[in-house]
């Protein structure tokens, strides 16, 4: 168990620092799909953590540590990133308990990559409402792209799932290279 706590701590710190530095930078420059990009990095970290520890419970520890580290970067408490990190951890864990073997990691990554409707459901108490679309429309307009709401929903999910899958594949590749 001590080894698993160590994995959770190390990778939780790595995730929290990634969220703190890269997340802050991306949000400051108003980069579209910041959440999805950060999710891919988180899924890479969670997948690698699970591959190294082979214990599902270490994912929860990793998420808790990442939340604590993220809170130290902010100076004040913003509930959004805390909920996002918690959701990613819980969804990834749910994916791992659903299947076994490599299928579990793929499913966990795809499930965790679908975090945004859950997030906005919690924040706004409804699923994919106009607030989400307005947020993405504003981000796209800043870079000169005008897009309609229906394709936007599809784009958000596709980008999230593709980045989630890349995160899982990256972790599997890393594990083979490092071991």
Q: Rounding to the nearest 10 degrees, give the CA dihedral for residues 142, 144, 146, 152.
A: -60
DSSP 144-167: T----HHHHHHHHHHHHHHHHHHH
The model's pLDDT over 80-112, given as tens digits with 9 standing for 90+, comes to 788 888 889 999 999 899 888 778 888 888 888
Domain coordinates in residue numbering, the chain: 2-178
Taking alpha carbons only, the member of 97, 132, 128, 129 closest to residue 112 is 97
The model's pLDDT over 106-161, given as tens digits with 9 standing for 90+, comes to 888 888 877 776 676 566 544 445 565 666 667 667 767 666 655 666 666 677 77
Taking alpha carbons only, the member of 31, 16, 21, 35 closest to residue 123 is 35
């Amino acid at each position: 168990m001590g080894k698993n706590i160590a994995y959770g701590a190390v990778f939780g710190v790595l995730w929290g620092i990634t969220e703190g530095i890269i997340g802050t930078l991306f949000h400051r420059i108003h980069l579209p799909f910041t959440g999805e990009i950060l999710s891919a990095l988180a899924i890479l970290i969670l997948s690698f953590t699970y591959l190294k520890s082979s214990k599902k419970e270490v994912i929860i520890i990793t998420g808790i540590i990442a939340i604590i580290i993220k809170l130290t970067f902010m100076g004040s408490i913003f509930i959004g990133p805390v909920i996002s990190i918690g959701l990613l951890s819980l969804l990834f864990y749910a994916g791992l308990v659903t299947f076994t073997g490599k299928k579990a990691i793929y499913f966990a990554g795809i499930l965790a990559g679908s975090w945004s409707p859950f997030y906005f459901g919690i924040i706004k108490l409804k699923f994919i409402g106009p607030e989400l679309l307005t947020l993405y429309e504003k981000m796209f307009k800043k870079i000169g792209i005008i897009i309609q709401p229906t394709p936007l929903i599809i784009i958000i999910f596709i980008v999230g799932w593709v980045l989630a899958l890349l995160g899982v594949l990256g972790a599997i590749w890393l594990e083979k290279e490092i071991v």
